[in-house]
Chain A
Amino acid sequence: GDSVTQTEGLVTLTEGLPVMLNCTYQSTYSPFLFWYVQHLNEAPKLLLKSFTDNKRPEHQGFHATLHKSSSSFHLQKSSAQLSDSALYYCASNTNKVVFGTGTRLQVLP
Chain B
Amino acid sequence: EAAVTQSPRSKVAVTGGKVTLSCHQTNNHDYMYWYRQDTGHGLRLIHYSYVADSTEKGDIPDGYKASRPSQENFSLILELASLSQTAVYFCASSDPGQGVYEQYFGPGTRLTVL
**A48's closest neighbor in chain B, by CB?**
B102
CB-CB under 8 A from B74, the residues of chain A are none
| B30 smallest CB distance to A (angstroms) | 14
Cα A91 to Cα B106 with chains together (Å): 17
Establish whether residues A89 and B106, one from each chain, have CB atoms under 8 Å apart when the complex forms: no
- Shortest CB-to-CB span from B100 to chain A, Å, is 10
Interface residues of A in 53-98 (CB under 8 A from B): 89, 91, 93, 97
Q: In this assembly, does B97 line the interface, its C-beta being within 8 Å of a C-beta of chain A?
A: no
Cβ A93 vs Cβ B105 within 8 A: no
CB distance from A38 to the nearest CB of B (A): 9
**Number of residues on chain B facing chain A (CB within 8 A):** 17
Q: Which of B42, B96, B101, B102 contacts A99 (CB 8 A)?
A: B42
What is the CA–CA distance of A93 and B97 in the complex, to the nearest angstrom?
13
Q: Which residue of B lies closest to A33 (CB)?
A: B101
Given A49-B102, A97-B33, answer yes or no on A89-B107 (Cβ-Cβ < 8 Å).
no
8 nearest CB pairs, A to B: A43-B105, A101-B42, A102-B42, A99-B43, A46-B102, A32-B101, A93-B101, A44-B105
Question: Smallest distance from the beta carbon of B9 to chain A beta carbons, Å?
Answer: 11
Say if the beta carbon of B19 comes within 8 Å of chain A: no
Residues from chain A with a CB closer than 8 A to the CB of B43 are 44, 89, 99, 102
Residues of A within 8 A of B103 (CB): 36, 44, 46, 91, 97
Q: How far is the CB of A88 from chain B (nearest CB, A)?
A: 11
Q: Is A45 an interface residue (CB 8 A)?
A: yes
